[in-house]
Structure 1
Amino acid sequence: MVNLKKNFQDVLEFTNNKVCLVRVDLDMPIINGKISDFTRMEKIIPTLKQLIARNSKLVLLSHLGRPGGKIDNSLSLSKILPHLEKNIGKTILFSNDNIMSPKVEKEIKKLEPGSVLLLENMRFYKEEENNDLNFSKKIASYADIFLNESFATCHRNHASITGIATFLPSFPGKIFEYELKNLNSIIKNFETTMSIAILGGSKVSSKIGIIENLLKKFNKLLIGGAMANTFLYAKGLNIGKSFCEPKMSSNAKEILRKFNDRIILPNDVIVVDSEDSEENFSIDINNVKNNQIIYDIGPKTRKDFYNEIIKSKKLLWNGPLGFFEKKPFDNGTNFVSGSVKTLNKNRFFSVAGGGDTISALKNAQTIEHFSFISTGGGAFLEFIEGKSLPGIEILNK
Structure 2
Amino acid sequence: MTYRTLDELDEGQRVLARLDLNSPVSVGVVEDNRRFSRHVETVRDLVEDGHRVALLAHQGRPGRDTFVTLEQHADILADHLDHHVEYVPDTYGQTALDAIEHLDAGEVVLLENVRMTDDELPERDPVEHADSALVQTLAPEFDAFVGDAYSAAHRKHASIVGFPLAMDSYAGRVMAGEYEANSSIATRDFDGEVTMVAGGTKATDVIDVMTALRDKVDNFLLGGVVGELFLRAVGYDVGRDIDENDLYESQWLANRDQITDLIENHPSDLVYPTDLAYADGDDERAEVTVAEVKNKDHDYLDVGTDTAEQFADIAANSSAIFVKGALGLFEDDRFNLGTVRVLEAIGECDSFSVVGGGDTSRAIEMYGMDEDAFSHVSIAGGAYINALTGKSLPGVEVLKDDSDW
User: Which one is further off, 167-176 or 286-295?
Assistant: 286-295
1:343-385 per-residue CA deviation (whole Å, 9 max, x = no partner) reads: 1x3xx11110222111123233335221211112211111011
Cα distance in 1, alignment partners of residues 185 and 270 from structure 2: 19
What letter is aligned with 2:120? E
Match of 1:60 among 45, 55, 58: 55
Cα distance in 2, alignment partners of residues 30 and 232 from structure 1: 37
> Does 1:125 pair with 2:117?
yes
Corresponding residue for residue 181 of structure 2:
182
Secondary structure (helix, strand or coil) at the match of 2:392 reads coil
Cα shift at 1:106: 2.4
Secondary structure (helix, strand or coil) at the match of 1:201 reads coil
> Does 1:142 pair with 2:141?
yes
What is the correspondence of 1:276-291 to structure 2 with a 5 Å cutoff?
278-288=283-293, 289-291=295-297
1:96-149 per-residue CA deviation (whole Å, 9 max, x = no partner) reads: 12x342232222122222211110111122320115432322222322211012
Corresponding residue for residue 389 of structure 2:
385
Cα distance in 1, alignment partners of residues 158 and 339 from structure 2: 38
Secondary structure (helix, strand or coil) at the match of 1:362 reads helix
Q: Is the 8 A contact 1:241 1:292 kept in 2?
A: no
Corresponding residue for residue 112 of structure 1:
104
Cα distance in 2, alignment partners of residues 116 and 293 from structure 1: 49
Q: Is the 8 A contact 2:206 2:226 kept in 1?
A: no
What is the correspondence of 1:46-85 to structure 2 with a 5 Å cutoff?
46-67=41-62, 75-85=68-78
What letter is aligned with 2:47? I
Match of 2:82 among 77, 89, 100: 89
What letter is aligned with 1:166? L
Match of 1:364 among 353, 367, 392: 367
> Does 1:237 pair with 2:240?
no
Count matched residues.
384
Q: Is the 8 A contact 2:275 2:306 kept in 1?
A: yes
Calculate the aligned-residue CA RMSD, in Å.
2.2
Q: Is the 8 A contact 1:354 1:381 kept in 2?
A: no
Give unpaired runs (5+ residues) of structure 1.
none
- Label 1:139 to 1:162 Cα distance change in 2 as closer, same or farther (>3 A): same
Corresponding residue for residue 262 of structure 1:
269
Q: Is the 8 A contact 1:318 1:355 kept in 2?
A: no
Secondary structure (helix, strand or coil) at the match of 2:301 reads strand
- Label 1:365 to 1:53 Cα distance change in 2 as closer, same or farther (>3 A): closer
Cα distance in 2, alignment partners of residues 214 and 67 from structure 1: 36
Q: Is the 8 A contact 1:4 1:392 kept in 2?
A: no
Moved over 6 A (4+): none
TM-score (structure 2 length as normaliser): 0.88
1:213-250 per-residue CA deviation (whole Å, 9 max, x = no partner) reads: 22222211111112211111222210164641331223
Cα distance in 1, alignment partners of residues 95 and 26 from structure 2: 33
Q: Is the 8 A contact 1:198 1:221 kept in 2?
A: yes
What letter is aligned with 2:54? V
Cα distance in 2, alignment partners of residues 312 and 56 from structure 1: 44
Secondary structure (helix, strand or coil) at the match of 2:104 reads coil
- Label 1:127 to 1:232 Cα distance change in 2 as closer, same or farther (>3 A): same
What letter is aligned with 1:251? Q
What letter is aligned with 1:363? M
Cα distance in 1, alignment partners of residues 347 and 209 from structure 2: 26
Cα shift at 1:45: 1.8
Cα distance in 1, alignment partners of residues 204 and 75 from structure 2: 40
Identity of aligned residues (%): 27
Secondary structure (helix, strand or coil) at the match of 1:111 reads coil
Corresponding residue for residue 95 of structure 2:
103
Cα distance in 2, alignment partners of residues 367 and 249 from structure 1: 38
Secondary structure (helix, strand or coil) at the match of 1:328 reads helix
Cα distance in 1, alignment partners of residues 172 and 190 from structure 2: 31
User: Which one is further off, 47-56 or 316-325?
Assistant: 47-56
Corresponding residue for residue 354 of structure 1:
357
What is the correspondence of 1:313-352 to structure 2 with a 5 Å cutoff?
313-343=319-349, 345=350, 348-352=351-355
Q: Is the 8 A contact 1:267 1:300 kept in 2?
A: yes
User: Which one is further off, 288-297 or 33-42?
Assistant: 33-42
Secondary structure (helix, strand or coil) at the match of 2:205 reads coil
Cα distance in 1, alignment partners of residues 312 and 74 from structure 2: 42
Cα shift at 1:308: 0.9
Cα distance in 1, alignment partners of residues 111 and 273 from structure 2: 48
